[in-house]
Amino acid sequence: MKIIASADRAFKAAVKKVVSRSSIQGDKVEGTVRSILKAVERGGDAAVSRYTHKFDKVSIKPEAFRITPDQMREAYYKIRKEDGDALRYASHRITAFHERQKSAARTWMYQDEGVTLGQTILPLDAVGLYVPGGKAVYPSSVLMSAIPAKVAGVKRIVMCSPTPRGEMSPYLLVAADIAGVDEVYRIGGVQAIGAMTYGTKTIPRVDKIIGPGNIFVSTAKRLVYGLVDIDMIAGPSELLVLADGGANPNHVAADLLCEAEHDENASVWLVTTSAELARDVVRRVQEQLKSLARQKIAGRSMQHNGMAFVVGSLDEAIALADEIAPEHLSLSVENPFKYLEKIRHVGAVFIGRYTPPAVADYVAGPNHILPTGGAARFHSALSLDAYIRKSNIVSYTKDDLYKVKDHVIRLAHMEGLDAHAQSVEVRLK
């Protein structure tokens, strides 16, 4: 992990490199992804089976794509009771948080001088969840993507996850069952995105695809957008720790490694007003790294994508954090709530010295599916809004239409749209 101060010549270049990172670099794989999607669109289940065998090295016939109710029940016997309890506790917390968002997700109308205006707000019919299953298993992501769908009232919740060894993790299955997933398919990769987009004989199409994946999956989601909706194009995990000199270097190092162990491509940054803290954190990272099971992954992430920025003031630190627009930001400073509304571009903020990223990842309740690659400048955390659709309501009486006819007709003629004007005039003759 490199340390660079704002007075250093290389500071601006280092910041520019971080700011200009992209969530995904899909150009190199786009041709391959397009060909797989086209094959699934044309070949359906047969193409899904073929690519699953090619990439996951497992042969699955279409009739075996879907996990059976018996397999779901058997999963409970393959995990410890305490693990099931932890998943249920997390489920309860996530449900409680997203239930609070329901008040803003109801149909509403009002009268404006006799005109009725408003919006219908209804759940999507079918949502597809993509859950990675390669380097690591993430039952928490099953809960985070499925529970808001259930709270929103989505009628059909589908989950796809790859099974490179032929069997799906029991933790994923138990999480899916707890969260109320209706259909679970043991397929992954681009072929799963294609199946959920176009539909096959075995897997009916969905309206929206939600969940992170590798560069192939992210590119596939980008390419099918428009045929289905997607949540976002998620890239590697990110964490920025914004700390003053009073932060505990052990805590900061642990938080950085917490994010780095996700992926070799994960990015972690420390932005601090204390050069001494930066030096201490770099030392503690090396010490703590030795005991991690995923030492190689976290080590590569820290080496290639880890950076400590030393700046002159907390205002400078906040400005830099906003420019980077990280997925996660840990605010380890005195009186942290004082600075909360100054931080504009971030997926999630962890406030105070005793809010490690892990608590937000698992049991706090807010969603951990967040914008990456700087997309926090314009994209929000996953919420109930992702699972609903809004339609505008407009209702005029004859008298109401008469009152506004001149304005409507004038605007229609202004734009050269005579039929628009006529649609008003014909009603009032």
pLDDT digits (tens, 9 = 90+) for 62-88: 999 999 999 999 999 999 999 999 999
**Which among 98, 262, 328, 368 is annotated as catalytic?**
328
- Look at residues 199, 210, 166, 195 and name the one whose alpha carbon lies nearest to residue 67: 166
CA angle, 333 then 339 then 344, to 5°:
120
Structure tokens at 80: 């410890």
Residue at 389: amino acid letter: R
Cβ neighbours of residue 231 under 8 Å, at least 6 residues apart? 208, 209, 210, 211, 369, 382, 386
Quick check: 36 and 52 in contact, CB under 8 A? no
Q: What is the pLDDT of residue 133?
A: 81
Q: What is the pLDDT of residue 96?
A: 98
Q: List, for the chain, all residue ranges whose pLDDT scores fall below the cut of 70.
A: 23-26, 134-135
CA angle, 297 then 369 then 360, to 5°:
80
**Which among 238, 264, 327, 368 is annotated as catalytic?**
327
Quick check: 206 and 238 in contact, CB under 8 A? no
Active site residue 413: no
Q: What is the pLDDT of residue 164?
A: 86
Running DSSP on this structure, what letter comes out for residue 344?
Answer: -
Residue located via tokens 């190689």: 296
The Cα 131–Cα 234 span in angstroms is 12
User: Residues of 289-314 as b/e, b for ≥16 C-beta within 10 angstroms?
Assistant: beeeebeebbbbbbeebbbbbbbeeb
- Give the Å distances, CA to CA, from 232 to 2, 18, 181, 196, 362: 31, 20, 21, 16, 21
The Cα 158–Cα 185 span in angstroms is 8
* Secondary structure class of 97 (helix, strand, coil): helix
- Look at residues 23, 24, 27, 49 and name the one whose alpha carbon lies nearest to residue 36: 49
Q: What is the pLDDT of residue 28?
A: 84
The Cα 161–Cα 288 span in angstroms is 32
Q: What is the pLDDT of residue 252?
A: 98
Running DSSP on this structure, what letter comes out for residue 310?
Answer: E
- Look at residues 307, 297, 305, 334 and name the one whose alpha carbon lies nearest to residue 241: 307
Active site residue 98: no
Q: What is the pLDDT of residue 25?
A: 65
Q: Global pTM?
A: 0.93
Quick check: 242 and 333 in contact, CB under 8 A? yes
Contacts within 8 Å (CB) and 24+ apart, 3-6 = 3/275, 3/278, 3/279, 3/282, 3/308, 3/310, 4/307, 4/308, 4/309, 4/310, 5/275, 5/309, 5/310, 5/311, 6/309, 6/310, 6/311, 6/312, 6/316
Q: What is the pLDDT of residue 24?
A: 53
Which helix (H) or strand (E) is 189 found in, with range? helix 189-198
C-alpha atoms less than 13 angstroms from C-alpha of 108 in its C-beta half-sphere: 6
User: Residues of 240-268 as b/e, b for ≥16 C-beta within 10 angstroms?
Assistant: bbbbbeebbbebbbbbbbbbbbbbbbbbb
Structure tokens at 133: 């299953």
The Cα 183–Cα 191 span in angstroms is 17
Quick check: 302 and 268 in contact, CB under 8 A? yes
Q: What is the pLDDT of residue 82?
A: 98
